[in-house]
Structure 1
């Protein structure tokens, strides 16, 4: 069984070598960029050894800022095509290593070109479905390659958010303000999470190509950890000035930094046990003080919370412009109770408990209003003051002079009407008697 498996592997290697030589010959004849295509094919061949440095340097020179943009675009497209069509783990990991080295060694323009290419034609580094099932070892290698590709993809996404390479400007987090810290630190922590997932298991720990790629990842972990630590310290200095919404995010970032510190220590222990990590010096990981988390949690409960409240500058203006007002979190419950009590004691005009006049009922109301009833005044006129005889006479005169509501305009004013207009304003008894007379005459007039 073992001999059969060995013969199958030898056969696959022979087929792979034949493919490489065939493609190199075709590139020399048909390709417009002959030298670059040959370098890519030879650097990413099926042989399970590291690519020669002269081929790698030719590729890195082709994607530098000194070359025309068309040449850079063609090189990225050639690498992406090589990565998407292969089903061999050796070709895939070599292509990823070359891309990773370009991200580290070429200027920032390569990040921008690769980000633009991924945005236009899909993620170049998406290897979620990659697998090499030629052998059990190749299956485990494929699993680690997918994890490695996720790290590189997250590295590119981190550059898109930060707008700079953290490897070159890792100390920049010391000078960021609160909004930038809350945006950039989660991105850096997600990248560290992907980095920690690159721990090889099984036979992948002893493969030389995987160890080489892991050594590059481990080298980046130091500056990534320093960038996150400096950013967290900067965030802690500004923590007790934050509003509650920002303080909650900062507390979550601080907690994750503690969890990642434990896992990073384990990651370094694994690297020390591998061939490339022996004798190397690693940064000392220090745990953030756990007692400080309690103080941060207490501040979050009492931190002022930014609310959007309506603010009107003119009472006649119904449009309300939202304004940000910082309200202490401890006073929110008191303000809420006070608002509820105020509504119960002073119901709003729009409250459903207050009946509203229906338009259908108003349409059925007769055109002649109840002139003689003071209990149900007309909606179109306000009720006159009982002690104001002038207003009372004016109100009665207007009602009698209105042809739409007066049944007889030719009759002379009666004695009781003249007495009403001549009555003194302070004679409340006469006004009361007049109301009673209105009631009696109303019934007679309606009948």
Structure 2
């Protein structure tokens, strides 16, 4: 390692010591241990992920008062916004990700407020740059991508009604999800599958940085996101299966929107398959199901081979809007809020 990185590491250690000393002098004694845990979890060390002990101490704050939790999350977001060091920034984002995955409801709730309802979006880091070295320059691209990814993760979780990262798949949970999904109206199902598509699309844009290869910080990020990918693709599979049950009940416009959503998902497959950590037999099965569903829903002539919507050129497909309206009117026996044929008698 060259002279500049060594000098930078020394400066980083001194900054960490100074920050911890300042916290010891100025922090409220009631939250001092939490502030120190935050500083120790988000050091300037460019090669070591946050220590699990310090992360656990921060997560434990979720079982205290809402005021304490709010202070912890605010301190985390302020550190993320004020640092110009790529290592500190990415460790702050990793810490936020652990809150989404393993935090208590109060911690998750406080964190989810920041990028949503008004005020400042603390995850907006599109302008983040650390040009100290070639490594920190590349790590900066991970910071920008990771912040946008977490913003997408929180937004998708709000739409789904649960925190995606904290909802690992299991047979019991999948059955519970299938039952819940079957009761949703088509427009809500489409909203959910589009939001999941946005998240998976963001995963597929993960940076490919030569200088960051083998770095434990980056590997930690890839591992956390890989777990989310498993959860999100499973949720997509459940919703695609439900749409297959509703094949004969979908309107023309719902079919068009669904095919476009599935096509957008399918376009991510090749980029995602290049991530060796995310290869899985289950994924191949789900991707096959997505492709099969896209073709199945596109057979009515609403979808073209190059991703174009067809204008129903043949006489067979030239159905007037008034004719389609008659098909979309619900009969008395069908007048329920869901359209899944599994509830037909």
Aligned match of 2:139: 141
User: C-alpha separation between the residues in 2 aligned to 1:229 and 1:303?
Assistant: 32
SS of the equivalent of 1:216 reads: helix
SS of the equivalent of 2:45 reads: coil
Greater relative contact order: 1 or 2 (C-alpha under 8 angstroms, separation 6 or more)? 2
What TM-score do the two structures reach when normalised by structure 1?
0.61
Residue 188 of structure 1 deviates from its aligned partner by 0.5
Q: Tell me if 1:41 matches 2:39.
A: yes
User: C-alpha separation between the residues in 1 aligned to 2:243 and 2:319?
Assistant: 17
Aligned match of 1:354: none
Aligned match of 1:83: 80
Residue 11 of structure 1 deviates from its aligned partner by 2.0
Change in Cα spacing, 1:125 to 1:305, as seen in structure 2 (3 Å) is: farther
Alignment of 1:280-359 (within 5 A): 283-286=282-285, 287=288, 288-289=291-292, 291-297=295-301, 301=312, 326-327=325-326
Change in Cα spacing, 1:254 to 1:113, as seen in structure 2 (3 Å) is: same
Which runs of at least 4 in structure 1 moved beyond 6 Å after TM superposition? 303-307
Alignment of 1:26-105 (within 5 A): 26-32=22-28, 33-48=31-46, 49-62=48-61, 64=62, 66-105=63-102
Aligned match of 1:150: 148
**Structure 1 unaligned regions, length at least 5:** 273-279, 308-324, 330-447
SS of the equivalent of 1:206 reads: coil
**Structure 2 unaligned regions, length at least 5:** 304-309, 329-345
Contact 1:192 1:221 in 2 (8 A): yes
Aligned match of 2:123: 125
Residue 327 of structure 1 deviates from its aligned partner by 4.3
Aligned match of 2:112: 115
SS of the equivalent of 2:114 reads: helix
Change in Cα spacing, 1:81 to 1:236, as seen in structure 2 (3 Å) is: same
Alignment of 1:229-240 (within 5 A): 229-240=237-248
Change in Cα spacing, 1:326 to 1:82, as seen in structure 2 (3 Å) is: same
**Aligned-residue RMSD, C-alpha:** 2.7
Aligned match of 2:338: none
Alignment of 1:367-378 (within 5 A): none
User: C-alpha separation between the residues in 2 aligned to 1:258 and 1:8?
Assistant: 44
Deviation string 1:73-94 (CA, Å, 9 cap, x unpaired) is 1111100111011111111111
